[in-house]
Amino acid sequence: MFVLEFKVEGQPKQYQAIDNAIRTSQFIRNKCLRYWMDNKGVDKYDLSSYCRVLAHDFKFADELNSQARQASAERAWSSISRFFDNCKKKIPGKKGYPQFKKFSRSVEYKTTGWKLLNPKTINFSDKKGIGTLKLKGTWDLGYFQESDIKRIRLVRRADGYYCQFVLSCEVKEDVKPSGKCIGLDVGLTCFYTDHEGNKIDNPKFLRKSQKRLKRLQRRLSKKKKGSSNRQKARARLAKVHLKVSRQRKDFAVKLARCVVHSNDVIAYEDLRIKNLVKNHCLAYSINDAAWYQFREWLEYFGVKFGKITIAVPPQYTSQNCSNCGETIKKSLSTRTHQCKCGCVLDRDENAAINILKKGLSTVGHTGSKAWGEKASTLMEEILSKQTISVNQESTRL
């Protein structure tokens, strides 16, 4: 699937209609969830049928497009099925029991209720009164067939409203093999260190905006609840948070694209961020670093460019010596790896070498996105050559 996003321009009445559609979508999702809680054995088809009952009982629900109501029911079932999957897998801790939505920010349409008038204009034809909206963006929708558009989302953010087009096509690019592989060890001091000792500084976008965020948060707390001044203060605070998230995403996308484009095999740690943030001393910095977002874009570009991405278990990658394999226990404050064999390396560089070795010796893919047959056959010879070269490298490896 491929997603294109545009900012929409309209009149204030149209923005109010979008907000109304979002609230209705949230209402239907919560009602479907309550229906599942009160009736044993309900499945996703029952929830879809229940949307018709809601449309009959509530006039504002009937104003929303029928397939948009079904999409809201599918969102409810998505949270239910995820809860069931976690229970079956016996995931430790909380299983993610479905919760009611309090603040929704989007409404989703399927293949009806909208029509593209031209590549830069879209019209919504349900009874909510959204009407015709202008699309602002650099993408050209005329390049795609209208039948390729499977879903459309209207999203509300701090700086306006956006329209997302979900296309049933994949964009792949043919890139010449570089014959290189790389092992990445992410960290807090440096965003990542590769197996050759190259480091990328951690941008720390949230830390840099912390002073401004605290000031805006204090101003928000002093405003009277329910007042228009509080809404304005809340909007100013939300815009700063939105800017930080966009900076973080832009950094992750550009860096991941550069890494995947320059290497044929990328090995990285299969970190459980949910467990790492339980350390309250490091949780703020870990969330600011956004390692998982970087990993998702690595895997996305790996599929797009036909490259191999391998997630390896992180156990003992920092403790084991990359030269002789002996375990040298170190605390987090110890930043230099020293072994009896004479190997002296930066701690993160030693871990990156171990990650690369594990990745090259891995059979299959342990990440969340597997590479295709084309990539596996294309890189088969590279993998065998790189495995030999890494094992026969200098004493540093």
pLDDT at 6: 94
* Whether residue 89 sits in one domain with residue 185: no
* Whether residue 187 sits in one domain with residue 48: no
- Asked whether 238 and 216 are in contact (CB, 8 A), the reply is no
d(Cα 161, Cα 20) in Å, to the nearest integer? 13
pLDDT tens, residue by residue, 219-264:
999 999 989 999 999 999 999 999 999 999 999 999 999 999 999 8
* Total domain count, the chain: 2
- Asked whether 289 and 191 are in contact (CB, 8 A), the reply is yes
* Whether residue 237 sits in one domain with residue 122: no
User: What is the pLDDT confidence band of residue 330, given thresholds at 50, 70 and 90?
Assistant: confident
Give the gyration radius of the chain's Cα atoms: 25
Residue 172 lies in a domain: no
pLDDT tens, residue by residue, 289-306:
999 999 999 999 998 888
Is the pLDDT confidence value at 207 over 90? yes
* Whether residue 315 sits in one domain with residue 281: yes
327 vs 88, more confident: 88
User: What is the pLDDT confidence band of residue 348, given thresholds at 50, 70 and 90?
Assistant: confident
Among 36-40, 109-113, 389-393, the range scoring the smallest mean pLDDT is 389-393
* Whether residue 265 sits in one domain with residue 217: yes
- Asked whether 134 and 9 are in contact (CB, 8 A), the reply is yes
Cα 194 to chain centroid, rounded: 23
- Asked whether 133 and 118 are in contact (CB, 8 A), the reply is no
Residue 175 lies in a domain: no
pLDDT tens, residue by residue, 140-165:
888 888 888 999 999 999 999 999 99
* Whether residue 18 sits in one domain with residue 108: yes
* Whether residue 307 sits in one domain with residue 278: yes
* Whether residue 387 sits in one domain with residue 259: yes
* Whether residue 133 sits in one domain with residue 73: yes
Q: Kindly report the average pLDDT of the chain as a whole number.
A: 86
β-strand 121-124 against 181-186: which pairing, if any? unpaired
Q: Is 161 exposed, middle or buried (0-12, 13-18, 19+ CB in 10 A)?
A: buried
Q: What residue has token string 């009277």?
A: 224
pLDDT at 11: 94
The mean pLDDT value for 40-62 works out to 93
* Whether residue 329 sits in one domain with residue 195: yes
Domain enclosing residue 334, as ranges: 181-391
Of 167, 195, 215, the one marking the end of a domain is: 167
* Whether residue 149 sits in one domain with residue 280: no
Q: In what order do the strands lie in the sheet with 149-157?
A: 106-109, 149-157, 160-167, 2-9, 131-136, 121-124, 114-118
Is the pLDDT confidence value at 391 over 50? no
Among 21-30, 327-336, 347-356, the range scoring the smallest mean pLDDT is 327-336
Of 167, 201, 235, the one marking the end of a domain is: 167
Write out the two tokens for 156: 């509300």
Contacts of 104 (CB under 8 A, 6+ apart): 22, 23, 25, 26, 29
| % the chain with pLDDT above 90 | 53
